[in-house]
Amino acid sequence: MAETHAYDRERAVSYARRWAFDRNPLFYDFTGGGGNCTNFISQCLLAGTCQMNFAPTFGWYYISADDRAPAWTGVEFLYNFLTDNAAEGGVGVGLGPFGREVNAGGLELGDVIQLGRSEGDYFHTLLVTGFSRRGYLVAAHSDNAFNRPLSTYNYQRIRYIHIDGFRTDKRFVGACYEQLIEGESLGI
């Protein structure tokens, strides 16, 4: 039976601070092959949860560049995973982070923002790392950033995803963080 836990926002932001201008050697860098933004934000979410979802096709996991869920690196797939991650169902369903789309005022540290084009497709994933009088500060990859003002990005559409928590079937939660942030092991 999966248990629900609070998402560790501080760990997600600390991970972003550590790796915003570098690459964790545990993960492939997709910068030259479609972008690394969602891969990086997935790493931040992992740092705040230490729980993957190994459900085939619709899960959220990373083992290697060739063995990962579409939601780990795909903007739309991550959105679908986070907002549809059901608490009940088949093997692996419900495990990992889950959230919901909110209005701009509903975001906290460690939440996710996605930017889109007027045609409707979303192309960039960011992590909220702070707040200023001018709006949100974010972290990102592909265009490396930490505490960059959201207002400096060019986009036509935007959506905000509040991470409500995560579900795990493990007894000890948070065991991966130290090894993950040091680039030593996924710890999963």
Q: pLDDT tens digits for 35-79?
A: 999 999 999 999 999 999 999 889 999 999 999 999 999 999 999
The encoded tokens of residue 111 equal 């939440």
Amino acid letter, residue 61: Y
Within-domain flag for 116:
yes
Closest alpha carbon to 64 in 56, 76, 72: 72
Within-domain flag for 106:
yes
Per-residue pLDDT of 92-149, as tens digits, reads: 568 999 999 999 999 999 999 999 999 889 999 999 999 999 999 999 999 999 999 9
Within-domain flag for 44:
yes
Residues 112 and 128: beta-carbon distance below 8 Å = yes
Name the domain count of the chain. 1
Q: Is the pLDDT of residue 174 over 80?
A: no
Within-domain flag for 188:
no
Containing domain of residue 101, as a range? 3-181
Within-domain flag for 187:
no
Within-domain flag for 47:
yes
Task: Give the angle subtended at the CA of 119 by the CAs of 33 and 78, to the nearest 5°.
Answer: 50
Please report the pLDDT score of residue 56 as a whole number: 84
Within-domain flag for 158:
yes
Please report the pLDDT score of residue 91 as a whole number: 47
Please report the pLDDT score of residue 160 as a whole number: 98
Q: What does the alpha-carbon distance between residue 100 and residue 83 come to, in Å, rounded to a whole number?
A: 5
